[in-house]
């Protein structure tokens, strides 16, 4: 840690005066001499990483009396910038009239962080991009303006596809996904008159927009030489291919409903929540916020948006709502060669094609981070057409070490798993709402699958 001076602001003018010195100097982020301190949950982390190097911290918590109020006035919700996230989430007016805000804040981070973090700080926190937070990488336009973006040609699977620029592809880390920020006076923030703009969420759920964005991205790997599994992009492209082969007149959700869900009697499943299913939705939460493949808070935010039919979300990868019974019915259909109760939705040869290994012995780049952070071995990707396969050998697998090599299935990011073992004639389905870091989730399902096989095989 570098030596710092701690100042405690006594009122708003003294805080403004202290912070104005940094603004007038027009220093870059890492060299800004003065920084405000509220909860400090992000600032202190960045100081330890040497990303931010203030010489003076101005504690603005004494301003809480004027800046932390949470009030409902004539239908307008007013949130103070220094209100703690936990206080806003627990406020009766927020819970009663703005349940989405209360629920999203309850699911953010851990209770300890929510008790410390201020609402304003959460909105303004810096990106969690690895290249931003690791000062050994010089090329980061957010940290060193004009130096470039190392993520462009680096490990960027968890970075943004939509809403990017040639200068940066970092994702927004806050738990309020769409917030208008401007200079304000105490108590002036008016959430009641603010209407959230769902454009970004709609873009992610718009197959045309996502496919167009994917087509603008350069190849991550040479086709046939490497396996670079990218779920959201890959499934969006496949979904668009299905639509075009169908003539382009039906939406993918309609094709899925008419050609798959209705014939199988999967009445509790839809691509994007329907008005009938939305009231039954169980909201996701973060159970494990350790670093890994995905930003758990971002996944929760997406999970909270999907059960809103008015947003018209259509995301082939992770955008279905369903029940364990319906997923089990689909898995059993696959186990029985593509038919359920006499209704065939796939031919047996098509099932065999989809559940065969199409990637040979090549490794999956998806697990590069797990090999680097967790010491995982190098093992084959074992990918079929829309399914993961067990394959040979002892290596991390969602389907358990006791399953046979031809076992196939799929999983949802940190929450969901189903598989079919065609030799043992066992089908397993497990749906959860608590997001785990993906590698930890894989090991969890590996253990659960082994328990199930040991018990029932």
**Radius of gyration of the chain from its Cα atoms, rounded to whole angstroms:** 24
* pLDDT > 70 fraction of the chain, expressed in percent and rounded: 89
Q: Is it the case that residue 429 has pLDDT exceeding 70?
A: yes
Condensed to tens digits (0 to 9), the pLDDT of residues 433-452 reads 888 888 999 999 999 999 99
Say if residues 310 and 121 touch (Cβ distance below 8 Å): no
Terminal-residue alpha carbon distance, the chain: 56
Cα–Cα dist 44/125, whole Å: 12
Which residues are paired to 165 by β-bridges? none
Cα–Cα dist 31/231, whole Å: 39
CATH 3.40.710.10 applies to domain 207-213+218-456: yes
- The pLDDT-based confidence of 365 (bands split at 50, 70, 90) is confident
Q: Is it the case that residue 184 has pLDDT exceeding 60?
A: no
CB atoms within 10 A of CB 73: 11
Q: What is the mean pLDDT of the chain?
A: 84
Condensed to tens digits (0 to 9), the pLDDT of residues 159-169 reads 877 667 888 98
Condensed to tens digits (0 to 9), the pLDDT of residues 5-29 reads 888 898 888 888 877 765 555 555 5
- The pLDDT-based confidence of 255 (bands split at 50, 70, 90) is very high
Q: Which of 9-13, 156-160, 233-237 has the lowest mean pLDDT?
A: 156-160
What's the DSSP call for residue 40?
-
Q: Which residue has the higher pLDDT, 102 or 37?
A: 37
Cα–Cα dist 59/406, whole Å: 60
Kindly report the pTM of this predicted structure. Answer: 0.62
Joined together, the tokens standing for residue 169 give: 């592809």
Mean pLDDT, residues 363-373: 83
Residue 271 dihedral angles phi and psi, to the nearest 5°: -85, 100
Q: How many residues are present in the chain?
A: 457
Where do the CATH 3.40.710.10 domains begin and end in the chain?
Answer: 207-213+218-456
Q: Which of 130-144, 187-201, 423-437 has the lowest mean pLDDT?
A: 187-201
Condensed to tens digits (0 to 9), the pLDDT of residues 335-363 reads 999 999 988 999 999 999 999 999 999 99
Distance set, CA 340 to CA 329, 334, 346, 347, 430 (Å): 8, 9, 10, 12, 20
């Amino acid at each position: 840690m570098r030596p710092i001076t701690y100042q405690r602001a006594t009122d708003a003018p003294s805080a403004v005066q202290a912070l104005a010195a940094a603004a007038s100097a027009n220093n870059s982020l890492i060299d800004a001499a003065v920084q405000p301190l509220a909860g400090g949950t992000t600032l202190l982390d960045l100081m330890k990483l040497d990303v931010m190097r203030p010489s003076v911290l101005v504690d603005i918590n004494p301003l809480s009396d004027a800046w932390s109020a949470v009030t409902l006035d004539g239908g307008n919700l007013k949130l103070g910038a220094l209100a703690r996230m936990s206080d806003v989430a627990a406020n009766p007016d927020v819970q009663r009239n703005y349940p989405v805000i209360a629920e999203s804040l309850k699911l953010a981070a851990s209770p300890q962080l929510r008790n410390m973090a201020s609402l304003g700080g959460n909105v303004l926190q810096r990106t969690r991009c690895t290249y931003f937070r690791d000062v050994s990488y010089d090329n980061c336009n957010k940290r060193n303006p004009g130096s470039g973006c190392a993520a462009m040609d680096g490990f960027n699977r968890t970075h943004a596809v939509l809403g990017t620029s040639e200068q940066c592809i970092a994702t927004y880390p806050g738990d309020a996904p769409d917030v208008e920020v401007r200079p304000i006076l105490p108590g002036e923030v008016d959430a009641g008159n603010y209407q959230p703009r769902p454009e970004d969420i709609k873009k992610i759920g718009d197959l045309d927009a996502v496919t167009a964005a994917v087509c603008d991205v350069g190849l991550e790997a040479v086709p046939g030489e490497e396996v670079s599994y990218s779920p959201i992009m890959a499934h969006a492209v496949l979904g668009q291919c299905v639509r075009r082969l169908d003539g382009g007149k039906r939406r993918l959700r309609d094709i899925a409903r008419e050609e798959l869900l209705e014939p199988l009697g999967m009445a509790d499943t839809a691509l994007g929540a329907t008005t009938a299913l939305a009231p039954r939705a169980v909201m996701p939460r973060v159970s494990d916020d350790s670093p890994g493949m995905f930003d758990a808070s971002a996944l929760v935010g997406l999970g909270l948006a999907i059960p809103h039919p008015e947003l018209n979300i259509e995301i082939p990868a992770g955008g279905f709502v369903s029940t364990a019974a319906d997923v089990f019915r689909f898995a059993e259909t696959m186990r029985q060669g593509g038919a359920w109760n006499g209704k065939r939705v796939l031919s047996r040869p098509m099932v065999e094609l989809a559940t065969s290994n199409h990637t040979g012995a090549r490794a999956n780049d998806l697990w590069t981070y797990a090999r680097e952070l967790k010491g995982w071995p190098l093992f084959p990707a074992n990918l079929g057409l829309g399914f993961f396969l067990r394959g040979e050998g002892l290596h991390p697998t969602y389907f358990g070490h006791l399953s046979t090599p031809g076992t196939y299935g799929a999983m949802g990011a940190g929450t969901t798993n189903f598989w079919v073992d065609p030799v043992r004639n066992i089908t397993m389905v497990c749906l959860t709402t608590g997001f785990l870091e993906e590698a930890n989730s894989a090991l969890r399902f590996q253990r659960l699958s082994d328990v199930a096989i040991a018990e029932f095989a």
